Amino acid sequence: FNTERFGQHILKNPQTADTIVEKANLRPTDKVLEVGPGTGNLTVRILEKAKHVTAIEMDPRMAAELTKRVQGKPEQKKLEIMIGDFVKATLPYFDVCISNTPYQISSPLIFRLLSHRPLFRTAVLMFQREFALRLVARPGTELWSRLSANVQLYAKVDLVMHVGKNNFRPPPKVESSVIRLVPLDPPPPVAFEEFDGLGRIIFSRRNKHIHANFMAKGVMEMLESNWRTWASTNNVMIEDDFDIKKKVEEVLDESGFTEQRAAKMGVDELLKLLSAFHDAGIHFA
C-alpha cells in the first residue's frame, strides 16, 4: 500500500473531525456508513453518537489499527469493519454516510450513494476542493458542469467548510472541502442515462449555443440510431424522408432552447429540454 495511491492522508485536526460529525446531525438510532476510516479519527466520534457504524476500509493495516482502537471498549460492539474496496462492496442499510473520501473514488462514491436504495438521509463528505466546488456550483457560475447537474438532479448539496492541506498527515498535494448532501425524496422520475446523455452533448462546450453542440461530429448518427431503435420497439413507422437533424432542430426551436447555453441552464430547464426530446421520440441512451 502506498500513501498516494490509496490517498492515505489522516485527518489530524480534531476540530475539523468534530465539525464533520456535527454537520451530520446524527441521531442515537442512526446506522452510519463510513468509507475509508483509516485509523478511525472520524469513526470514534461517530460511534459516540450513532447506534452502529459499518466502516469499509481497503487497507488491512488501517483496519487493524482501528480494531485496536476500539478493542475492549463499549463502542466495539457498535462497529463493523469491512475490509475491501468500497466500489465493489455490497453496501448495508444506512441512514447517514460520513467519509473523508479517498479522492480516487470521488465520482463512483457519489453516484453509488445516489443510486443506493432505500435512500439515506444525509451524507457529509470530504473531497478535493475543485471536485467539491463543482458539486455545489450553481448554473451561470464558472464551475457549473455536467457533474453539478447530474448530482443536483438527485440531491441538495451545500458546502460545509474548506479544509487546508496542513490538517492532514502527511499533507496531500491538494486542498480539500467538505460538503453535505441530502437526497431528494422521492427522486425525479427520469432515467439517469437519458439525463446524462443529454448532458454529454450540451456540456461538451458548455458556453456554446445548444444548437451548435448538437451539430458536433457523431451526435446526429447516435441520435438517429437511438431513434430507429425507439421507433421499432414502439411500432412507429420510419418515413422515407426521415431526417434526424430536422427533427432535432424542430424540438430545439419549439422548446425555445436553440440559442441557450448549458452553462446557464439549471436542472429544471435541462429536464424540460429532455422531456421535449422524449415527446418527439428522441433518446440519448
- Residues in contact with ligand SAM by CB under 6 A are 6-11, 35-38, 41-42, 56-59, 62, 85-87, 100, 102, 105
* Identity of the residue, 131 or 227, whose beta carbon is nearer to ligand SAM in the bound complex: 131
Give the Cα separation of 208 and 231 in Å (integer).
30
Min CB(126)–ligand SAM separation in Å:
7
Min CB(141)–ligand SAM separation in Å:
28
Question: How many Cα neighbours within 13 Å face the side chain of 177?
Answer: 16
Instruction: Copy the grid coordinates of residue 109.
Output: 462514491
Give the Cα separation of 100 and 38 in Å (integer).
9
User: Positive or negative, the Cα torsion across 44, 107, 265, 284?
Assistant: negative
* Identity of the residue, 140 or 170, whose beta carbon is nearer to ligand SAM in the bound complex: 170
Question: Is 186 within 8 Å of 178 (Cβ atoms)?
Answer: no
* Identity of the residue, 85 or 259, whose beta carbon is nearer to ligand SAM in the bound complex: 85
The DSSP letter of residue 42 is T
What letter represents residue 103's amino acid?
Answer: Y
* Identity of the residue, 6 or 230, whose beta carbon is nearer to ligand SAM in the bound complex: 6
Min CB(117)–ligand SAM separation in Å:
21
Min CB(97)–ligand SAM separation in Å:
12
* Identity of the residue, 64 or 271, whose beta carbon is nearer to ligand SAM in the bound complex: 64
Min CB(114)–ligand SAM separation in Å:
17
Give the Cα separation of 254 and 36 in Å (integer).
49
